[in-house]
Amino acid sequence: MKDIILITGAGGLIAHELSKKLEKDFTVRFLTRKKKHSNEFEWNIKNKTIDVAAFEGVSHIIHLAGANISEKRWTDERKKELISSRVDSADLILKTLQEKKIKLKSFISASGINYYGTKTTDVIFTENNQPGNDFLSEVVVLWERAADQFKEQNLAERVVKIRTAVVLSEKDGALKKMLPPIRMGIGAPLGTGKQYMPWIHIEDICAIYEFALKNDTMDGAFNAVSPQHTTNENLTKKIAEVLKKPLFMPNIPGFVLKLIFGELADALLEGSRASAEKIQNAGFQFKFPDLKKALEHLLKNN
pLDDT in tens, 174-216: 999 999 999 998 899 999 999 999 999 999 999 999 999 999 9
Alpha-carbon gap, residue 232 to 196, rounded angstroms: 6
Q: Which residues contact 194 (CB under 8 A, 6 or more apart)?
A: 120, 231, 232, 233
At residue 259, the pLDDT reads: 84
The parent domain of residue 161 ranges over 4-166+200-225
**Residue 179 belongs to a domain:** no
Question: Residue 128 falls within a domain, yes or no?
Answer: yes
176 falls within a domain: no
User: Which pLDDT does position 86 carry in this prediction?
Assistant: 96
Considering the domain boundaries, does residue 244 fall inside one? no
Look at residue 195 and tell me if it is in a domain. no
Task: Identify whether 76 is part of a domain.
Answer: yes
CATH label of the domain that carries residue 24: 3.40.50.720
Say if 140 falls within a structural domain: yes
For residues 184 and 191, the answer to whether their CB atoms sit within 8 Å is no
What is residue 263's predicted lDDT score, i.e. its pLDDT? 86
* pLDDT tens figures, 37-55: 899 999 999 999 999 999 9
Please state the domain count of the chain: 1
pLDDT reported for residue 302 = 65
Residue 261, pLDDT above cutoff 90: no
pLDDT recorded at residue 117: 93
Asked whether the predicted pLDDT for residue 11 surpasses 90, the reply is: no
Distances (CA, A) of 175 to 178, 195, 225, 232, 300: 5, 16, 15, 11, 14
Please check whether residue 249 lies inside any domain of the structure. Answer: no
